[in-house]
Structures are given as structure tokens and as C-alpha cells.
Amino acid sequence: MRKRLYRVLVALIGALMVLMVGSTVAAQATETPPPDATAIQVTLQDEANKDAQGNPKPIEGVTLVVTKDGDKVGEGVTDAKGVAIIEVEELGKHVVSLDEKSLPSGTVLDENTKNEATVQVRFQGPNNRAIFPIGVTAGEQSSFGKDLAQNLRAGIVFALVLCLAALGFSLIFGTTGLSNFAHGELLTFGALMAWTFDQLFKTGGLATVSVILAGIIAVVLGGVGGYVQDKVLWGPLRRRGTGLIAMMIVSIGLSIFLRYLYQYFYSSSTRSVSQYSGQQREEHWYYLGLAFADREAITVLISIVTITVVCLWLAKSRMGKAMRAVSDNPALAASSGLRVDGVITNAWVIGAALTALSGVLYALTLQVNVFMGMRILLVIFAAVTLGGLGTIWGSLVGSLVIGLVYELGPLFGVPTSIKEVGPLLIMIVILLVRPQGILGRKERLG
């Protein structure tokens, strides 16, 4: 019996993000005698609770449900050995989900870890194993200090990635005044592109740098996407003199349009860059000479470098200054000879590219799903309003605060299942008390 202890950084975009350490349970396949029929076989063991020989204790009486294409096709309960064999009728992709309520008391799933796994049923017979990247912590084992350290780490990663998306939003909002409800879809676009090109490269000669290459392409495509969007849609609308409210509603339409277009081509299943599930994940990362946990480090590094570069660029370069001038007062900028439209196009390209990068980093640290952008959109709104709509420094500070609140909230009484509530409530309160945000100037508001 092979035992693997997955150290997984799992997060559903905008919904959950958790670092699992130490006391995890690996659910894995065993060699239990099979029935004749085609079946999925799952074993649950509690890593945190070992017997005298150091073997993990099996978890009994946990309900597992198997679904295919959203329809329930089977259900099983783990026996005294922690094994459940669930018969299925056809081959193909199945989703095994674990009923958290049936876990024995004292054992809880690690906060918000995905409680389901996708199994490809390839064989007639019972050798289809469900590998759960599921973390379980024994409730009594977590100390506040450890939790704080974990959540702080998760919070910093989340905050930095959020920051990129918020920066993109701010650039576009600053220059155009548009509250872009399709901004989340820009992020999804980056993630999807990263995934697509990673799929393309990972088997060929470029396998060693597959993820990096895919990421770069995704960011470039994101920028191109921003350019096209501005040229085809927003630019003409601006020239027609379309009101901001009307544009905002157009952006809602665009967001719905794009989201379902993505779903059309990518379906609603959750994916991960370079075989996130299964052993290949780690092997793949060894290609890059990185241990798994380095993923976070890389994400943090890339984010900080990008943010610094963008800020310097805004502060020093001609275009950066022009952009700030347009944000400040478009009419004045236009009358002093700035090509406002060109500046706005630039803002779209850079804003979209930054957001795509944010999506790529999400895809790396978390998973890829066509709905990820929609889920994160309100958190981005929260971050930029907190800092002060349209101000660059504001969105940096706002993202950091929101990212940390998001992850640390649960430690201070916010129910973990509704972590989003924290940032949203903060945003509401900020809008009420200080609508110009922490760093915004009051004069900017009407």
C-alpha cells in the first residue's frame, strides 16, 4: 500500500483558499477484493490519528456520492476499513463527493477544501480509484497560532494576486470611469488561456517550460483581448457619447456573454494547470526545478515584481503620467494636447494584461474554472472601493486589506463557509462612511 501525503494548496477562486499542512488525511485506493461490476473504490484514512504501528486509522461510516454530468449515479458508505466500493454503470468522468456531515465527530474537512474529486472510469471492473486531494484536520489539533500563520500565508498570496486584478480594474476605471462588470471574465480568460497552452506544450519538447510559456502567452493574449475590446466595443461607444450607466449595463451583457462562451468551449468542470490532480502534478513541477510549495513563492515573487514595475511605470514613464493625467481630469488632459483615446486604449491593454496575469497565477495556485472570474468580481470591487476607486495606491492597499480579511476573517468568527461576507461587508461600510476610499481624495466624488 503506497501512502501519499498530499500537501495541497487548494482554492476555489473567490470562494475558498486554504493551505493544508501536517495533519491531512489522504484518501486513496486500496487493493480490496473487487466485485465483478465496474466500480469506483475509495478509501478514507485519517492521517492525524494513527495507531501504535503508525498506520493511519480508517474512517468509517462516511457517505460518498458519485455523480455523472450532474446526475447522481451511485452512493456508498465507507466500511470499518474505510473502504467504499461504489458501482457505476458506464465509463467516463465521474465526480465523487464526500458528505461532510457524515464525518465522525472530531474529524472535519480542512477548511473549505474541495470535498469532491473527479475520477476517470477507464476500466470495466473495480480498479477505478478515487484519489481525493482532500485535507481533513482533526478539530482539536489546530492551534490558533498555527492557523494564523497558515491563513496569513494564504492571505498574502491571495491579496497579491487580487492586487493585480484590482490594478487592472483601476487603470480602466480611472481612465474611462467604467465600472466594468466583465472584468472577472478578463481574469477567467487569462486562466483559461494558461491552461489551454499548458495542455498544448506539456507533452512536446517544450514540456520543461510549459507552464511559463503558457503563462506568457496568456498574458499577451489578455492584452490583445483588452485592445480588441476597446477597439471593437468601448471605443465606439465612447465616441457615440454613451452614458456610463448604459456602458455598465453593456458590461453586464458582455460578462454573461463571455462567461457562457467560455463554458461552451471549456465546460463547467474544474481544471488545473499541468495535471493538478494525481502524481504528475509534482513531477511536472520538478521539471521546473521547483518543489511544490514553491508555487506560492513564485506567485508572490511574480506579483510583487509586476506590481512594482507597473507602479514605477505609472510614476515615471510618459504614458504612465499621461494615464494619471487622464484619470485626474480627462477634459483638462484633452485640452492640454493629450490623445485621450490613445491613453485609454493603453489602459485597456495593460489593465487586461495585468488581469490576465492575475488569472494565470490563480490557475497556478488554485484551479481553473469558467466561473472563477464571476466569483472574484465582487471581491475585486471590494478591494478597489476600499482603497478608493480609480486610485492606484488605493487599489494596492485595498487588495492587501481585503485579501487578508478574506483569509483571516474565519479566525475571528466569520463562518468559514461564507468568507466572502467579510470583504463585502467591509466594502459596504467603507462606501457608507468614506465613499472616496482610504486613500481617495474627497474631491473626486460627486
Partner 1 sequence: MDADMTDQTKTDTAQTGPAGLVGVSTEPGAKKPDPILVADSITRTFGGLTAVDVEHVEIQRGAITALIGPNGAGKTTFFNLLTGFDQPNTGSWSLEGKSLKGVAPYKVARLGMVRTFQLTKVLAKLTVIENMRLGATGQKGERIWAAPFKFLWGKQEDEVTNKADELLARFMLDKKREDFAGSLSGGQRKLLEMARALMVDPEVVMLDEPMAGVNPALKQSLLGHVKSLRDEGRTVLFVEHDMDMVRDISDWVIVMAQGKIVAEGTPESVMADQRVIDAYLGAHHDTDLSELDEARLEAEVEAEIAQEEDSK
Partner 2 sequence: MDILDILRAALQQALGPQAIVFVLAAIGLNIHFGYTGLLNFGQAGFVAAGAYGMAVTVVTFDAPFWIGVLMAIVAPLVLAVILGVPTLRLRADYLAIVTIAAAEVLRFVFGAVETKDTFGGSNGLNGYAKPFQEANPFSSGLDLGIVSFGRNDLWSLTVGWALVALCCLLVWALMRSPWGRVLRSIREDEDAVRSLGKNVFAYKMQALALGGVIGGLGGLFLALKQASVVPSDYSTLMTFYAFAALLLGGAGRVMGPVIGAFVFWFLIAGLGSFFSQSAGDGGWIPEVIMTDTQASLIRYIMLGLAIMLLMIFRPQGIIGDRREIAIDGR
Cell 485640452 sits at which residue?
A: 335
Q: Which three cell numbers stand for residue 380?
A: 475585486
Residue with smaller CB distance to partner 2, 5 or 246: 246
Residue with smaller CB distance to partner 1, 105 or 336: 336
Distance of closest approach, residue 446 Cβ to partner 1, in angstroms: 4
Q: How many CB atoms lie within 10 A of CB 100?
A: 14
- What is d(CA 202, CA 274) in angstroms, rounded to the nearest whole number? 7
Based on the shown chain and the rule CB under 8 A, indicate whether residue 428 belongs to the binding site for partner 2: yes
Q: Are 94 and 55 in contact (CB under 8 A)?
A: no
Distance of closest approach, residue 435 Cβ to partner 1, in angstroms: 13
Q: How many CB atoms lie within 10 A of CB 371?
A: 18
Based on the shown chain and the rule CB under 8 A, indicate whether residue 245 belongs to the binding site for partner 2: yes
Distance of closest approach, residue 170 Cβ to partner 1, in angstroms: 19
Q: Which three cell numbers stand for residue 294?
A: 514553491
Q: What is the DSSP string of 180-212?
A: -TTHHHHHHHHHHHHHHHHHHHTTSTTGGGHHH
Distance of closest approach, residue 346 Cβ to partner 1, in angstroms: 24
Distance of closest approach, residue 169 Cβ to partner 2, in angstroms: 12
For partner 2, which stretch binds (CB under 8 A), given 2-10, 200-208, 234-242, 305-313?
A: 234-242
Distance of closest approach, residue 442 Cβ to partner 1, in angstroms: 9
Distance of closest approach, residue 443 Cβ to partner 1, in angstroms: 4
Based on the shown chain and the rule CB under 8 A, indicate whether residue 228 belongs to the binding site for partner 2: no
256 binds, options partner 1, partner 2, none, Cβ within 5 to 8 A by partner type: partner 2
Which residue in 145, 289, 337, 446 binds partner 2 (CB under 8 A)? 446
Which residue in 264, 289, 331, 442 binds partner 2 (CB under 8 A)? 264
Based on the shown chain and the rule CB under 8 A, indicate whether residue 137 belongs to the binding site for partner 2: no
- What is d(CA 189, CA 359) in angstroms, rounded to the nearest whole number? 7
Which residues neighbour 297 within 8 Å (Cβ) at sequence distance 6 or greater?
none
- What is d(CA 181, CA 190) in angstroms, rounded to the nearest whole number? 16
Residue with smaller CB distance to partner 2, 62 or 377: 377
Residue with smaller CB distance to partner 1, 99 or 328: 328
Measured in whole angstroms, the distance separating CA 338 from the mean position of its chain's CA atoms is 38
Beta bridge partners of 87: 39
Based on the shown chain and the rule CB under 8 A, indicate whether residue 240 belongs to the binding site for partner 2: yes
Among left, alpha and beta (phi > 0; psi -120 to 50; other), residue 241 is left
Residues that bind partner 1 (CB under 8 A): 329, 332, 443-446
Distance of closest approach, residue 12 Cβ to partner 2, in angstroms: 14
For partner 2, which stretch binds (CB under 8 A), given 1-9, 164-172, 224-232, 430-438?
A: 430-438
Distance of closest approach, residue 274 Cβ to partner 2, in angstroms: 25
116 binds, options partner 2, partner 1, none, Cβ within 5 to 8 A by partner type: none
- What is d(CA 336, CA 330) in angstroms, rounded to the nearest whole number? 10
Which residue in 137, 179, 365, 369 binds partner 2 (CB under 8 A)? 179
Terminal C-alpha separation, the chain: 67
- What is d(CA 255, CA 356) in angstroms, rounded to the nearest whole number? 15
Q: Are 17 and 299 in contact (CB under 8 A)?
A: no
Based on the shown chain and the rule CB under 8 A, indicate whether residue 111 belongs to the binding site for partner 2: no
Q: How many CB atoms lie within 10 A of CB 309?
A: 10
Distance of closest approach, residue 446 Cβ to partner 2, in angstroms: 6
Per CB under 8 A, which of residues 46..85 are in contact with partner 2?
Answer: 69
108 binds, options partner 2, partner 1, none, Cβ within 5 to 8 A by partner type: none
Residue 237 class from Cβ within 10 Å (0-12 exposed, 13-18 middle, 19+ buried)?
Answer: middle
Residue with smaller CB distance to partner 1, 33 or 446: 446
Number of residues that bind partner 2 (CB under 8 A): 45
Choose among 100, 129, 103, 132: nearest CA to 116: 132
Give, as one character, the DSSP assignment of residue 71: E
Q: Which residues bind partner 2 (CB under 8 A)?
A: 69, 179, 233, 237, 240-246, 248-250, 252-261, 263-264, 267, 378, 381-382, 385, 415, 417-418, 420-421, 424-425, 427-428, 431-432, 435, 445-446
